[in-house]
Amino acid sequence: MSALWIDTHAHLDAAEFAAEEVAAWRMQARQRGVARCVIPAVARSNWDTVRELAHRLDDAYALGIHPMCVPTAHDTDLDALDDALHTHRDDPRLVAVGEIGLDFFVPELTEPAMRERQTRFYRAQLRLARRHGLPVILHVRRSADALLKGLRELPVDGGIGHAFNGSLEQAQTFVERGFALGFGGASTFDTARQIRRLASELPVEALVLETDAPDIPPQWLYATAAERAAGRPQGVNHPRELPRIGEVIAGLRGVAPDELARATSDNARRVLPRLAALA
């Protein structure tokens, strides 16, 4: 039997996945070998949704406040997150605090006041992860050094650096702190030289796989600006694409896809230990 894959980052509550069809779409991914998905929250408004989805789909979830949602978040949401993590502390499907982190790419998030607010929410959520004994799922976009600074000052029980696109030195520092790094659709583009270098050269113990569905479509789903202007819609990423993404990364590393599936799934269960109880 072929090895099974774990998609460590899939926003199955997104509008692109119609609620009445998500179970059928998830079954398609399961039939292709995707045994488990981790569904991260992004804001207080979807905490219940991701939890209910994880239970309905036999998957896992994380609770947190995404840095891109910080501008509309309230300070009281941090207290509510503390309460939610306490309320669901015995839920084996709650595997992490996430998606949290810092985004210094989106222009409106780089203004000094918003950088400070992002940092305050990030550090507060690191404290909550420490309090509740959970790893974290980090949004890393032009923010690796700032995230690492927070982890040095407020160490947590490891986790995942989602959609990692930093330097080799930054990658190694995250790994030394107990993190695995997420690789997905971006790795399928020949032009993504840094990401492909990391995916091929990092120790296999450093890697987990993800789709970030419905975002970061692989090359075969991606429509360029010219193609979109000509009427081709942008492809929607989906957990069912994970095995094919894994095949590309396995090719970069010169290993069999089954070998990569086993290794990256073991890594996911190591950095998100509650996943192991669901296997």
For residues 143 and 133, what is the distance between their CA atoms, to the nearest angstrom? 24
**Residue 137 φ/ψ, nearest 5 degrees:** -110, 115
pLDDT, mean of residues 129-144: 98
pLDDT averaged over every residue in the chain: 96
pLDDT of residue 1: 45
Interatomic CA distance for residues 186 and 224, integer angstroms: 14
Looking at the domain that runs over 5-278, which CATH code has it been given?
A: 3.20.20.140
139 is in an annotated binding site: yes
How far is the C-alpha of 12 from the C-alpha of 227, rounded, in Å?
26
Is 86 annotated to bind a ligand? Reply is no
Query: Average pLDDT of 146-151?
Result: 98
Task: State residue 264 phi and psi, 5-degree precision.
Answer: -70, -30
pLDDT in tens, 64-102: 999 999 999 999 999 999 999 999 999 999 999 999 999
Consult the annotation and say whether 9 binds a ligand: yes
Contact 149, 170 (CB under 8 A): no
| Sign of CA pseudo-dihedral 67, 270, 3, 36 | negative
pLDDT of residue 86: 98
99 is in an annotated binding site: yes
Residue 162, annotated ligand binder?
yes
Q: Does 2 score more than 80 pLDDT?
A: no
The residues spanned by each domain of the chain are: 5-278
pLDDT of residue 279: 67
Residue 27 in contact with residue 247, Cβ under 8 Å? no
16 a known binding residue?
Answer: no
**Residue 3's pLDDT band (cuts 50, 70, 90):** confident
Question: Mind listing the pLDDT tens digit for each residue in 171-197?
Answer: 999 999 999 999 999 999 999 999 999
What span, in angstroms and rounded, lies between the C-alpha atoms of 26 and 54? 11
Q: What is the pLDDT of residues 217-257, one digit of tens each?
A: 999 999 988 999 999 998 999 999 999 999 999 999 999 99
Burial of residue 103 (number of CB atoms within 10 Å: 0-12, 13-18, 19+)? buried
